[in-house]
Structure 1
Amino acid sequence: MSSYKQKALFLDRDGVINVDHGYVGKYENFEYVEGIFDVVRKFQNEGYLPVIVTNQSGIARGYYTEKDFHALMARVVEDFSSHGTVNIPVYYCPHHTQGSVKELTIACQCRKPLPGMLHQAAKELDIDLVSSLLIGDSWRDIEAANAAGLTKSYYLSDKPITDEQLSKLRSSHCVSRITRLSEIK
């Protein structure tokens, strides 16, 4: 039995994979962020398994259904496959405490900044979290990466990282702010 564990490239969806137009639930509203296919291919070629981890409160808010989300993400996974990447596992949180869909209006452990989705992926896909990294466009993403034990993340944002934000991360967690995916070398 091998003791090798897979390293992962965790990707937030809205703002990293697609332009964040707010509550994107249909493929016709899905616009890819420039460079996303190149970045995912680069990390895949370095042995990382790409994994999408996305908060989808639009489901709890009733803006679109889980069926709509799954149909959209099936198309996204097909698009990545046609650009030379593996079938990408998708983990999502449909919950929000202020939703309108009663059964999804809960406080859960999967909604970032909590690390539930990353822990679930690690368990199901045999991922080594310490060797993995995350690309996110919200500080919630970085907090989830830090809480899950990742040691590296990329913060895709025009907003600067504050000393207060950094002070709440483990000293072993390195975060790099980028404004475009092409800045990842």
Structure 2
Amino acid sequence: MNPAAEDAGCEPAGAVFLDKDGTLLEDVPYNVDPARMRFAPGVPSGLRRLAALGVPLVVVSNQPGLALGLFEEAALQAMQSHLRRMFADAGAALTAFYYCPHHPDGTVAPFACACRCRKPDSGMLERAAREHGLSLARSWLIGDILDDVEAGRRAGCRTVLLDNGNETQWRPGALRVPQHMAADFDEAASYVAQWMAARSRSHA
């Protein structure tokens, strides 16, 4: 278990789960090119807020480009390495990066299939919780579309939706209602940081 994962007695720590494209990074479809990776508005300051909490920061990202044959897994490894450097430059550490390579309409075996890891399902979050000793009930997810919100809520997390124009369908559902909506990442991070700090004080 991560040493920072214990704050109230022996309880596992919560984490902050982060969507990648449209949340952390400018929304460029199927982007795994480090040269085109740019933080979205408010992300560097928001990451600093979250880093100050000392909780794990975990990216959970659908990457259907693998199943669709748009890039290979080696490109994802280079993208992850660059994202870690971007986090470090912002004063934060990326604890882990989980991605779903599947798509039911894909053309590349074995990725062309339905799965439990593709958001809006919760498989990536549940795997992260197992592998890092995290409490999903004490965790948050920040995303830019309602599929992110649903994945977080299926896992038992609290959620923040960035109201930045990336959600265009607005399909309703009981699991697609976030606890909070924010204009940008910094506002979302501030809300989560205040909640986590208050909870930590109440359990001190």
TM-score, normalising length from structure 1? 0.89
| Shift >6 Å, 4+ stretches | none
Q: The residue matched to 1:98 in structure 2 has which SS?
A: coil
| Higher RCO by CA contacts (8 Å cutoff, separation 6 or greater) | 2
5 Å-filtered alignment, 1:41-80, equals 41-80=48-87
Q: Distance in 2 between matches of 1:154 and 1:48?
A: 17
2:174 corresponds in structure 1 to 168
Gaps of 5+ in 1: none
Q: The residue matched to 1:42 in structure 2 has which SS?
A: helix
1:112 aligned onto 2:133: no
Gaps of 5+ in 2: 2-8, 191-204
How many residue pairs get aligned? The number is 180
1:21-48: per-residue Cα shift (whole Å, max 9, x none)? Answer: 1110211121211221221221221232
Q: The residue matched to 1:52 in structure 2 has which SS?
A: strand
Displacement of 1:105 after TM fit?
Answer: 0.2
Displacement of 1:181 after TM fit?
Answer: 1.7
Q: Identity of paired residues, percent? A: 32
1:57-81: per-residue Cα shift (whole Å, max 9, x none)? Answer: 0111111111101111111101212
Higher strand share: 1
Q: Distance in 2 between matches of 1:12 and 1:175?
A: 16
1:135-161: per-residue Cα shift (whole Å, max 9, x none)? Answer: 0011110000010011x2111123599
Q: CA RMSD in A?
A: 2.2
Alpha carbons of structure 1 residues 78 and 107: separation in structure 2 relative to 1, 3 Å = same
TM-score, normalising length from structure 2? 0.81
